[in-house]
Amino acid sequence: MPTTERTPHRRRRRNRLAIATAALVLAIGAGVWAVVGLAPVLVPAGCRVAGPDGASVRLDLDQAANAATIAGIAVSRSLPERAAVTKPLGSASSP
């Protein structure tokens, strides 16, 4: 009857392995959720645009979309570069 004595031991080992695997999968899932869930909080939405003089301007997503639309239309109409380059509000305007 050696097989009956080993069966409970094997079941326990199998149960422990199943529990350890489930815990590992949950830990990995929680880590992925934390990274994906917290990424928008840690990184603000928007972008920075560097001008030719080296100054950078932060744009929100809506502003960046508008700037991309203006630049795309300027390129499609073969307008000069100055048609797509704008100055931020509050900067000195040239005469």
Q: Mean pLDDT for the chain?
A: 78
**pLDDT tens profile 49-65:** 777 677 888 888 888 88
Is pTM beyond 0.95? Reply is no
Place of tokens 């048609």: 83
Q: Which pLDDT score, from 0 to 100, does residue 1 have?
A: 44
Report whether pLDDT(4) > 80. Answer: no
Please report which helix (H) or strand (E) contains residue 58, including its range. strand 56-59
Domain boundaries, the chain: 1-43, 47-83
Chain centroid, CA 32 distance in Å? 13
- What the block records as the tokens of 74 is 């300027």
3 state DSSP class of 57: strand
